[in-house]
Structure formats: C-alpha cells, structure tokens
Amino acid sequence: MRKSSLILSFFLLLFFLFFAISLIPKDFKKEEKIEFYIPKGSSALEVGYLLKEKGLILSEFAFWIWCKLLGVEKKLKFGYYELSPHLNILQILNKLIQGETLKIKVTIPEGLSLEKISYILSSKLGISREKFIKLSKNPKSLKEIEKYFPEEIPSSLEGYLFPETYYFPKDISEEDIILTMIDTFFKKINKEIPNWKEILKNRNLSFNDWVILASIVEKEGKLEEERPLIAGVFINRLKRGYKLQSCATVEYIFNFEKSILTYEDLKIDSPYNTYIYYGLPPTPISSPSISSLKAVLYPEGDYMFFVSKGDGSHYFTRNYDEHLKIQKEKK
C-alpha cells in the first residue's frame, strides 16, 4: 500500500514538475517580436508545433495539454500575431484566444477617390487593387450589405468608404476592408449628425444625393469654414435649374491627375462633366469628411457662383455680372 502511495506521489510530482517547467518562457531575456501565423483550421497541436518551430515555446505537447485542460482547443483565432520568446505558454494562449492579431495602421485622408484609396490599401496591406475596386463598384455582391442600405444599395461605394485611421489585421480580405469602412461611415454620421435622416427628409434630398454633393464640396472647399457656403451655391444652382459647373467633377474624370483644366477638358463627354450635363454626377467623386456632410445639411448663403482666390479661399457672388467682374479683376 505504501509502495503504491509512493509511486502515485512520484507521478504526481512529475506531473506538477512538467507543468511548472512548461510555464517557463523559452527565453526570459529575448524580447524581440517574432511574426507568427496561424492558418485557418489549424488544430491546437498544429499551432503548438508552429510555435515551437518559430522558437516561441519549449514543447508543442505542453501547449496542446494546456489547451485541453483549459478547454480552448477550438478557440484559437487564425491570423498573424507578433509574439515574443519571453512570454510563457499561458500568456501566448491568452493572445491567441483573444485574437490579438497583428494590426497594420492605415490612414485614409479625406477627399480621396476610390482609385487613390485602393493604392494606399494595396501598398500597406498587399491586397488586390483590382478586386477591391471591382467589389466597391459592385456592392450587391458583398455580404450583409443590405443592413447598411436597407432601401436602396448604391451602384458604387465610392464616397461611403470613410476617411479615417484604421488598424487592419494583416490578413484582412478586400471584402472585410470595404465593410469595415462602410460600418465606420454609418457610425460616424449617426454619432456626429444623429438627426441626418430627418434633415434629408425636410430638404427632400436622397441619401445618395447627399453623399454625392458632400463629395463635391469636399474637393472644392479647402477651408472648412467655406464649405457651407460652397454647399449653398450648389444647392441654389440645383434649385434654379443651373448646371453645377464644378471643376472637381471634371477632375474626377482624369482621376485628379490634372493640376489645370483646359477649356477642351470642360467639353469632355462624360456623365461626370457638370459643365455639359445638368444635375448631379451618377456617384460621389471622393470620400467626404463629416465637415462636408454637415455643410450639405446646413448650407449657407444665397450665392450662385464662387471663384478661387488662389490661396484656398474663394470669392462668392450672387449673380453672373458680379461673377464676371470678379473674374476680370483676377486677370
């Protein structure tokens, strides 16, 4: 009986020693970050093997046993991580369970076109520009898109990809990037302009037209304080049946690559050329800021024209004669 107790005690001691040793970090002194990737569908034992191969843990078997004991075998989240050999198994496990994946900082400035946004995302995240643009221009193919646009899904998501600083997982898909940016758009307008639906209804303005107008104001208005005046000009022109005659909409045709537009450029046949076509262009031309979105909802002034001063600010005039006078004085 005593012999059996001794054997049991011996094995219990080995058991506790094993787990005590398994909690020792691979290298106390080594704090360098090692990039580690868990492929989708990996088992706990496979993850343990990958961790050991990367020099992050001492034993894949110990890792698997801890997963079993804690009941987290199926809770390890796939993706890229930054881990260090000075972390012990439980600390590493916690990061993998919480899904603390490697995040990449991506800043999307205000007023960029879909094309320009795709370049930033491609260079930072390595995604396919072509796929990103294709999905953005075919929003009906996106999962759960109806929850954002329950009434009518726009023909393009240009303008709805909110300009913001994001921290995207390294392995994020093109589709998930788009959905994240749209989700941010709606969260921002609901927070900053909670009564936007009521205002649009009172102004008899559709949701898409609001974003289109705001995207034009964003490109035309360099100074935030002038944006309500610029929005006022465009709204007044629409009400009176004038063409918008916005240079920004023509610049969009050239992907904003032309610093100066010629008179020939203003004759180009495109639905985005508001010098030859009445009304709004078919889609937004950039991703507007909250400032520009507010400007369209709260326009100011009874002006019909504006002319650049050359320093980012503008002259605003109420009639064509005043407009011509300003133009002559500028020359």
Residue spans of the domains in the chain: they are: 24-101, 104-192, 196-330
Domains 24-101 and 104-192 share a fold: yes
**Quick check: 10 pLDDT over 50?**
no
**Quick check: 4 pLDDT over 60?**
no
Q: How large is the average pLDDT for residues 258-278? A: 93
Structure confidence by residue, pLDDT tens digits, 196-224: 999 999 999 999 999 999 999 999 999 99
Handedness of CA 64, 70, 71, 76 (dihedral sign): negative
Of 18-22, 40-44, 68-72, 281-285, least confident by mean pLDDT is 18-22
Would you state the CATH architecture of domain 24-101? 2-Layer Sandwich (3.30)
- Is residue 162 within 8 Å of 207, Cβ to Cβ? no
**Quick check: 15 pLDDT over 80?**
no
Structure confidence by residue, pLDDT tens digits, 100-134: 899 999 999 999 999 999 999 999 999 999 999 99
- β-partners of residue 82 are 35
Closest CA to 227 of 326, 273, 293: 293
Q: What DSSP string describes 260-298?
A: S--TTGGG---TT-TTTS-S--SS-SS---HHHHHHHHS
Instruction: State the Cα–Cα distance between residues 118 and 174, nearest whole angstrom.
Output: 10
Give the pLDDT confidence score for residue 29 in this predicted structure. 67
Q: How large is the average pLDDT for residues 164-170? A: 94
**Most confidently modeled range among 14-18, 252-256, 310-314:** 252-256
CA gyration radius for the chain?
29
Residue with tokens 């063409």: 243
- Is residue 18 within 8 Å of 63, Cβ to Cβ? no
Of 153-167, 279-293, 316-330, least confident by mean pLDDT is 316-330
pLDDT band at 7 (very low <50, low <70, confident <90, very high): low
Give the pLDDT confidence score for residue 98 in this predicted structure. 92
Compute how many other C-beta atoms are within 10 angstroms of the C-beta atom of residue 129. Answer: 16
The H or E element that residue 178 is part of is: helix 174-192
Q: How large is the average pLDDT for residues 260-271? A: 93
Q: Give phi and psi for 205, each to the nearest 5.
A: -120, 130
Would you state the CATH architecture of domain 104-192? 2-Layer Sandwich (3.30)
Give the pLDDT confidence score for residue 2 in this predicted structure. 56
Closest CA to 288 of 277, 298, 296, 300: 296
**Quick check: 330 pLDDT over 80?**
no
Tell me the pLDDT of the chain averaged across its residues.
90
Q: Give phi and psi for 105, each to the nearest 5.
A: -75, 125
Instruction: State the Cα–Cα distance between residues 273 and 140, nearest whole angstrom.
Output: 26
Region for 168 from its dihedrals, namely left if φ exceeds 0, alpha if ψ lies in -120 to 50, beta otherwise: beta
Q: What is the pTM of this model?
A: 0.84
Higher pLDDT, 293 or 65: 293
Strands 79-83 and 103-107 come out as unpaired
